[in-house]
Structure 1
Amino acid sequence: MPRLPFLRWSGPTWILPHRGGSAAPADPLAELEHWIGQLPPRLPLTRARMLGARLKTMLERDIQVRVRLKMLGLIDDAALRLSSEIEAQLNMATLPLTRRIHNPLIATLGVLKLLCGAYLALAEQLSQRWVRFTVTRPLRQAIERGTMLATHRLSLTHRAYAIGNSSTWQQLHAFHRLARQHGFADERPDTGGMALSISDHYAQAILLAAADPTAIALGDLDRVRFYLQRHVRYCRFMVAGKDAEALQAQAQGLYVLNGSTQPPLALTRYRAPLTPEHCLLDCREMLSKLQGQIDGLRLGVVPARLGLPIVARQRRYVAMLETLHAHWAHPRSRGHGRTRFLPRADLVSGFSAIRPFIASTALHRRSDEAGAAGERPDLNARTSEWGIVDESPGGFGLRYLRGQTQYIQVGEVVALRPHERASVLVGITRRMVNRKDGEFDIGIEVLAASAIPTTVVLPAAEHQLRPRIPVLLLAKLPTLGGRAGLLAPTGEVPPGTRITLQQHGQRLALKAGVSLEKLAGVEIIPLYRSEP
């Protein structure tokens, strides 16, 4: 058959040459890649808005499935690069976030939401086809990429100490349901290393949410994510079946998948009867391994033999693992009944600022506070005002009103003085939450109802000055059953240090014990009576 010059075969269709000398339409993939390369590199907010607008325009067009999938891949690669830049800025940011960081963060989360929605719509479209063997690979790619983006969106939200969006959980539920329906939810990519399956990503998101990320210090959040990356493969999804009643009786380490806008609920807190149709996340094997790792670290086993990084030798890392085990095995509700409402409170953060605040400024009347703060510019830079939105026997829920917050972080020691009280409470910041409309909340655990700034004089060699260590003496620690304790700079007051006090005209000899908890730059040390 002679070759006709005006026709050429290209796959399943015949393509006619363009007439009139007009240029052929550009390749959409090459054009999109070129457009992404022209985005302003130093304007993250502009980049996020441009990516969102381009994605919306692309979704309105009728594009071939495989081309659409590749175009989505180009945009989500650009969105992930942008997300990495935002995450690096969050690592150095203070809360509440300034508009310079908050606006790009919201715009980037919006792009990730659009991308997840686009992948989900494409996956559902392909899943409904009668003949699916021709689109099996695109279907799997759409579900895998969508699941990874949804978990990344949650991770970025946790990094900003915000609560995960309901749409993200809806998308994760849908992606996992489609993957289980088509039989590849538990298949891991053949890329080697620590590549995770769709079920692994979903379980990782569930467990990170169950670990209460708003109460995790910034450095520890990366450690929790790394731990889950290595050990989440010990979890599995299962259907309750005929063992539903027995599983509810031994609910520890099980989570119920409800498909709602909230993360799956721990079975220990699930009040309705478990039915055979319920799907569960089973973390019992991972919890058993975690407990073995904690026991091994306590016995001095080398972390590498336990599958842990070298930093696991630190006491803080062991405390983090113990907290994770408690959250995952015995999750508890944070709700407390409000006993009374105090509208305002002054808060000072940081050990170095708390001592002068308790010693002098906190005892001044409010009419004199401006002068007192003016004499202490370092104290003024660490003081802020908060509204008390909740109070429980163990602490306070506070909402930011005004003042300096750049030194507030999870694990930081603080002093709190409600305006209607003369006493100053010493506590620890246990939680930080960025809420909508610029609201910023923190949770404070009360450590002691009062504190005395003083110094501890350590022994020294002959003809040497004896070191004087600034400390806060806590007369009664509820966590120690009312026993006294110290807040001291980390490592400065060794166990066994003798401390002498005057109490009711009598001399009281005490001895420092082993540190109970290491906070941001300080540690809590119990005091015991010293034998004469």
Structure 2
Amino acid sequence: MTKTAPNVNDASGLPADSQAILNWLESPSAPHPAEELPTLRAHLAGLRQTPGALQQRAVALDGLYIRAAAVVGRLVPTLTERALPVAPKTRRLVRSIVDLLQVMADETLALVEQLDPQHQPSVHHPSLSPTLALWRSLQASAQQLMVCHLIAAPSRVGAWQQLHQTYATAQRLHLAAAVPDGLDSSLQHVYHAAVLLGCAHPASLTPPEVVFLTSYFERFADHLEPASATAAASPGTFWIDPTRDLPASSSQRKASPQTASIEYFSCARLCLLIRNQIHALEAGTPARRLDLSDFAESPAGLGLLRRLLARWSGSGKRRFQRRRQNTRTLLAAGLDNLWHVCRKGESTATELSTWMITNESAEGYAVMHLSGKTGALAVGGVVAVRTGSENEWQICIVRWALSENPEHLELGLQILAPSAVAAVLAQPSENLGTQYLRVLLLPEIPRLRPVELLVASAGALARRQNRMVLVIESENLSIREVTSTHIDEQTTSVDILSIEPEHDPAE
């Protein structure tokens, strides 16, 4: 955010309303930043009706924006609640933040309409810069979208269209490449960073992943490249219709409409950067040396970068057609809960909930919550589902989540296996002795996956542990020695490994 501040020495002769705003801006911040949201929103909303010269209103708006940006900056890190659906208290806070960001975007954009694009503000009134006003409007719109992603909520109606149209205004005024004084990013960079977050399928991200990718794209949005309609068939190519209230769409997943306003861009150069960063992180290079946050070198961070690379480098086309359904299913969430269900049956589950399957394919389901406690639900977590006509519990991973309100929750589930075996993993340790970890063993699927999978809690497995001992208790006690051959996936909830039986070197 910009570091300019209102010049209170210029407040002489201001109307009472503007003077009251500047006086409030000089007051100490509230103990909790959320307490300032109503006052900030009221001052911003009433500023346009305040009498006085444009310069006076711009000075007041400058101070309000700086104060509001600081408040939002303090509140966003608190919105990292992973459990779904998000608590009503958190939703109310997000709604207040989104309302404030919307007023900020509207008021700074309205200021642009009153300024001369060629006007160069004096050092005493930097708030009169149309470049700065447009930058702030774009930033507020981008933050509004990001905050909604943090709670798996759909964006406000018109939010994407306003972002596109604000950037179109910057292009029309030839300000897209400009960097406002005191800032280190251009208007184009802010816009591209917001667009890239939309391309990352935010519904499939946990709050820490949203925060990480927001920061990531703010650093590397300059790797996005313009493309032409002829390149639409290339992996990683997206299109935007600035006239519609939609994020960018993958050219390979959805054909663009035949209109002149369509804009294309390619993520191929960014994918190359991500691939190089993954290789460097896997080789032990510290994340800070790559200009990344520490989250990038965690198993969950590496897993996120791999998923992003796979999504943008692949074809993007659906392998199976979806069929609409309205059947009901039981759902158990959380690895410990699933372990009990797979070992002793449904009666041992601590929490079961009822869902409706709204559509299904050979690969998975879309489900909507109907009743019951949802348990430890999070994007990237594992769940088990069973319909009335089935005996086995299917093991699935939660790929995306959408929640419009506290009573509404939809999930996208990808089937990992038609059943699972509860097992205990013995991990010898020199310092702590042998530790025992509850895991799930997923059988191989002929013609689809020729190996077994091991599902464990994220970060629970010792690093560089290839040889493992599994204890399986059913009718008889079974002990198996297995080797990890590949990391299939790592999320903030689970690690999924491909395994095979340990071979005797003497054989």
Please, what TM-score do these two structures have when normalized by structure 2? 0.81
Between the aligned partners of 2:26 and 2:408, the Cα distance in structure 1 is: 36
The amino acid of 1:349's aligned partner reads: A
Is the alpha carbon distance of 1:75 and 1:503 closer, same or farther for their aligned partners in structure 2, counting shifts above 3 Å? closer
User: Structure 2 residue aligned with 1:422, among 391, 405, 409?
Assistant: 391
Q: Tell me the amino acid that sits aligned with residue 511 of structure 1.
A: V
The residue type equivalent to 1:450 in the other structure is S
| Aligned match of 1:439 | 408
Per-residue CA shift, 1:223-251, capped at 9, x if unaligned? 2122212211223557x5xxx54x34546
Shift of 1:212: 0.9
Give distance in 1, aligned partners of 2:267 and 2:66: 32
Which of 392, 397, 409 is the matching residue for 2:366? Answer: 397
Establish whether residue 113 from structure 1 lines up as the match of residue 83 from structure 2: no
Structure 2 match to 1:213: 202
CA displacement at 1:393 relative to structure 2: 1.7
Aligned to 2:91: 102
Structure 1 distance, partners of 2:453, 2:281, is 26
State the match for 1:488 in structure 2: 456
Q: How does 1:108-507 map to 2 (within 5 A)?
A: 108-126=97-115, 132-133=118-119, 137-191=128-182, 195-237=184-226, 240=228, 244-245=229-230, 247-248=231-232, 250=234, 252-269=236-253, 271-272=255-256, 278-299=262-283, 303=287, 306-309=290-293, 312-330=296-314, 332=316, 337-339=321-323, 341=325, 343-362=327-346, 364=347, 379-380=350-351, 383-405=352-374, 407-435=376-404, 438-457=407-426, 468-477=436-445, 481-489=449-457, 490-491=460-461, 494-497=465-468
Residues 426 and 450 in structure 1, CA contact (< 8 A), matched pair in contact too: yes
Distance 1:409 1:248, change over 3 A: closer
The separation in 1 between residues aligned to 2:335 and 2:145, in whole angstroms, is: 33
Partner amino acid, structure 2, of 1:344: R
Cα distance in 2 for partners of 1:34, 1:406 equals 48
Instruction: Report the Cα offset of residue 200 of structure 1.
Output: 0.4
For the pair 1:55 / 2:44, whether they are aligned, the reply is: yes
Q: CA deviation at 1:474?
A: 1.8
Distance 1:273 1:262 in 2: 13
Aligned amino acid, residue 456 of structure 2: A
Secondary structure, counterpart of 2:62 in structure 1: helix
Cα distance in 2 between the residues matched to 1:162 and 1:79: 22
The 1:335/1:125 distance shift into structure 2, 3 A limit, reads farther
What secondary structure is seen at the aligned counterpart in 1 of 2:119? coil
Q: Give the superposition deviation at 1:309.
A: 4.6
SS of residue in 2 equivalent to 1:439? coil
Kept in 2, the 8 Å contact 1:485–1:524? The answer is: yes
The Cα shift of 1:93 comes to 6.4
More RCO (CA 8 Å, sep 6+): 2
Instruction: Name the CA distance, whole Å, in 2 between partners of 1:308 and 1:55.
Output: 35
Distance 1:410 1:337 in 2: 23
> TM (normalized to structure 1)?
0.77
- Distance in 1, matches of 2:472 and 2:107, equals 68
**1:116-143 CA distances to partner (integer Å, 9 max, x unpaired)?**
122223323436x8xx536795322221
What is residue 523 of structure 1 aligned with on the other side? Answer: 495
Q: 1:437 to 1:94 in 2, by over 3 A?
A: closer
Q: 1:74 aligns with which of 39, 42, 63?
A: 63
Alignment check: 8 A CA contact 1:166 1:262 kept: no
Out of 508, 512, 518, the position equivalent to 2:483 is 512
For residues 470 and 83 of structure 1, the distance between their equivalents in structure 2, rounded to whole angstroms, comes to 40
Structure 2 match to 1:3:
none
Q: 1:491 to 1:122 in 2, by over 3 A?
A: same
Report if the CA contact (8 A) 2:206-2:379 is conserved. Answer: yes
Contact 1:170 1:260 in 2 (8 A): yes
For these two proteins, the number of residue pairs brought into alignment is 484
Quickly say closer, same or farther: Cα 1:204–1:40, change in 2 above 3 A. closer
Q: CA deviation at 1:221?
A: 2.1
Q: In structure 2, list runs of 5 or more residues that go unmatched.
A: 1-9
User: Helix, strand or coil for the counterpart of 1:476?
Assistant: coil
The answer on whether the counterparts of 1:207 and 1:328 sit within 8 Å (CA) in structure 2 is no
Cα distance, 1:138–1:25 mapped onto 2, change above 3 Å: closer
Quick check: 2:212–2:295 contact (8 Å CA) kept in 1?
A: no
Larger helix share, 1 or 2: 1
Once the two structures are superposed, residues 67-119 of structure 1 have per-residue CA deviations (whole angstroms, 9 ceiling, x without a partner) of 22222233333433443454244224633233322223213212221221222
How far has the Cα of 1:208 moved from its partner?
Answer: 0.3
Q: Which amino acid aligns with 2:221?
A: V
Which letter does structure 1 place at the counterpart of 2:310?
A: A
AA at the equivalent of 1:326:
A
Q: Paired residue for 2:6?
A: none
Distance 1:422 1:32, change over 3 A: same
Contact 2:331/2:383 (<8 A) preserved: yes
Runs of 5+ consecutive residues of structure 1 not aligned to the other structure: 1-10, 16-23, 365-371, 374-378
SS at match of 2:44: helix
Change (3 A) 1:179 1:91: same
**1:90 paired to 2:58:** no
| Cα distance in 2 between the residues matched to 1:251 and 1:513 | 31
CA displacement 1:172-200 (0-9 Å, x = unmatched): 112211212222211234547xx211100
Letter of the aligned partner of 1:133 in structure 2?
A: H
The CA deviation at 1:149 is 0.7
CA distance in 2, matches of 1:509, 1:312: 34
Q: Is the 8 A contact 1:416 1:424 kept in 2?
A: yes
Aligned CA distance change for structure 1 residues 54 and 327 (closer, same or farther; 3 Å):
same
Classify the secondary structure of the residue corresponding to 1:96.
Answer: coil
Query: Would you say the 8 A contact 1:311–1:317 is kept in 2?
Result: yes
